[in-house]
Structure 1
Amino acid sequence: MYNGKIDPIKHVSHFNPRMVVHSRDKTLMCKVFPSSLGPIAMRWFDSLKLDSINSFKELTQAFGSRFITCNRVPRPLSSQLFLSMREGETLKTYSDRYWEMYNGMDGNFEDVAISTFKSGLPTEHGLRKSLTGKPVANLRQLMNRIDKYKSAEED
């Protein structure tokens, strides 16, 4: 479902393979496309003037043009370098912010993610001390270690 928060071009590129069996029937593609739209995009679709769209290509171009502002610009790697845990912030909140930013980046930066997550923790934080004393080799290990500390923090 298109929720207005993702890239509209990506939405169309995910819609097309699901309709591959019917890809030659462009009329059917136009009729089924609205079923992939959430409430905001559906309001746009319902407001289209009758006979204003003549093809599936026109429909997807109009859709892309209308929701172009929903394109997410990938964050630069440097954005993670300045992210740190705020005073009074829980580990859960910090890690949620961190992974949201990490997931918004293009590319695979596991090594950088591990070191920047650790350096964003206060020096006296138990998790930072743990990561310094016993470094992790990959993101899965980091996430497991974070989960252990989040559980302890919640208790």
Structure 2
Amino acid sequence: MLSQFARPPFNSYTGKIDPVEHVSHYIQMMSLHSHNDALMCKVFPSSLGPTALRWFNGLKKGSIHSFSKLIQEFGVWFMTCSWVPQPVDTLLLMKMGDGETLRNYASRYWELYNEIGGGNEKIVASTFRMGLPEESGLRESLTLKPPEDMRQLMRRIEEYKCLEDN
């Protein structure tokens, strides 16, 4: 079976992204072989960039006895690169800039919202609305008739983006 092994195309770990994200990607790419602990360990270094490879090559011989131990050590070493979610209240700081288009503001807002992670739908409409200029027609619309859910909010934003484009 190993003679038929073809190394999947990995993203090289540069030490600048979340190590958990890298390991998740690696495991996904190796999913057909995830039951083979030795192979998972042997192939892992080929997913590492120069900095991480130096770390790997510096491991004491015989100190790693399983893939889970390798991943644990990798996570500990590159912990400072771990992704830290933004707190929900950062949405309150979002403001539409002078001269900024609704399209750009909405794009920045949704990017930040996605970084925070879901589960905050109740505050989305109000924080989005508060970031709009007071004279904004969309702000008035969201104030007079708050959307019932995310889809309604998204539809309303799209309507106003189309108006802005015309």
Do they fold alike, i.e. is TM over 0.5?
yes
Match of 1:42 in 2: 49
Q: Which letter does structure 2 place at the counterpart of 1:31? A: K
Aligned-pair CA distance for 1:83: 1.7
Q: Equivalents in 2 of 1:27, 1:94: separation in Å?
A: 48
Aligned length, in residue pairs: 151
Q: Deviations over 1:28-82 (max 9, x none)?
A: 10233356x4xxx422344342774644234323432343222222222222222
Overall identity of the aligned pairs, in %: 47
Q: Which moved more, 1:126-135 or 1:82-91?
A: 126-135
Match of 2:7 in 1: none
Q: Is the 8 A contact 2:18 2:83 kept in 1?
A: yes
* 1:150 aligned onto 2:161: yes
* Residue 70 of structure 2, aligned match among 46, 50, 59: 59
Q: CA RMSD in A?
A: 2.9
Change in CA separation of 1:75 and 1:119 when aligned onto 2, cut-off 3 Å:
same
Taking the TM superposition and a 5 Å limit, the aligned residue runs for 1:1-155 are 1=11, 6-13=17-24, 15-16=26-27, 19=30, 21-34=32-45, 37=47, 41-47=48-54, 48-49=56-57, 52=60, 54-55=64-65, 56-106=67-117, 108-155=119-166
Q: Which moved more, 1:70-79 or 1:117-126?
A: 70-79
Q: Equivalents in 2 of 1:141, 1:5: separation in Å?
A: 37
**Which of the two has higher C-alpha Rg?**
2
Change in CA separation of 1:119 and 1:45 when aligned onto 2, cut-off 3 Å:
closer
- Structure 1 stretches lacking a partner, 5+ long: none
Q: Which letter does structure 2 place at the counterpart of 1:49? A: N
Q: Is the 8 A contact 2:15 2:52 kept in 1?
A: no
- Structure 2 stretches lacking a partner, 5+ long: 1-10
